[in-house]
Amino acid sequence: MDLDEAIRQRRSIRKYKADAPIPREDIEAIIEAGSWAPSSTNIQPWRFILVEDRETIASMAKAVYDKFQAVSKEALGKGEKRLAAFFRFLRSYGSFFADAPLVIVACAKPYENPVLKMPMATVVQKAKELEHMDVDVKPLVIDTVQKSVAMAVQNMLLKAQSLGYGTCVMDAPIAIEGTVREMLDIEDDLELVMVIPMGVPESTKVEAPERLAVEEVMRYHQA
């Protein structure tokens, strides 16, 4: 499969074949594709937690479901019907991965600079205190790690597609970050960025959602 095919055929897949585990060599090829993503000063901040144990995956999904169920009930009790409906939607939308054969938790290590030898949050604060500093350095030294991880994940999605696996990028499990950290023994210094369930699609007949025309998402600057 060439690059254009992988880009156009990739879908957000939410149902996977239960009897089709992903071989380790394919998993590692997918992670390796992610490792070729660009990153600021080549810091390569991505770290991936790979979850194959079905019981653990099911427990994670249930924890997401239970959290949004509780929040929905609370919102409804306060008369917030629309908010309650939204959280009911997230309850199922965010926990569909219970039967996925593989779940990848994509994390980011904090930016570290051997010259500065101080936490990047300190760099941001000290920069703000400089009289002539009118540039926000936060996107350069803190937000950059999330962007790098996202680029790595995109590589992984396309590699997975080329190998015949479906994926779906998720934010909902981050809502139970503390639970996920405890379940998977994730290091304190790692930031959870996104979660990617993966597996052989139950069906390959997933319609492509409509895309905006190129003319709608670009413009040439006129000097």
Query: Which residues are CB-neighbours of 99 under 8 A, at least 6 positions away?
Result: 15, 16, 18, 57, 58
CATH code at position 159: 3.40.109.10
Strands of the sheet with 191-199, listed across from one edge: 46-51, 102-108, 191-199, 166-167
- pLDDT (0 to 100) of residue 123: 77
Taking only the tens place, the pLDDT of each residue in 80-103 is 999 999 999 999 999 999 999 999
- Residue 73 domain flag: no
CA dist., res. 210 & res. 213, Å (int)? 9
Cβ contact 43:112 at 8 Å: yes
- Residue 21 domain flag: yes
CA dist., res. 80 & res. 83, Å (int)? 5
What's the average model confidence in pLDDT over 174-203? 96
CA dist., res. 65 & res. 77, Å (int)? 18
Whether pLDDT at 162 is above 90: yes
CA dist., res. 27 & res. 23, Å (int)? 6
Taking only the tens place, the pLDDT of each residue in 118-148 is 777 777 777 777 777 777 777 777 788 999 9
- Residue 151 domain flag: yes
Please state the domain count of the chain.
1
CA dist., res. 153 & res. 10, Å (int)? 13
- Residue 210 domain flag: no
- Residue 117 domain flag: yes
Taking only the tens place, the pLDDT of each residue in 27-57 is 999 999 999 999 988 999 999 999 999 999 9
CA-wise closest residue to 44 among 189, 155, 145: 145
- pLDDT (0 to 100) of residue 90: 94
- Residue 147 domain flag: yes
Q: Write out the residue range of the structural domain in which residue 131 sits.
A: 3-52+99-201
- Residue 181 domain flag: yes
Cβ contact 114:200 at 8 Å: no
- Residue 179 domain flag: yes
Alpha helices in the chain (DSSP H): 3-9, 24-34, 54-77, 81-93, 120-128, 138-141, 144-162, 177-184, 214-217
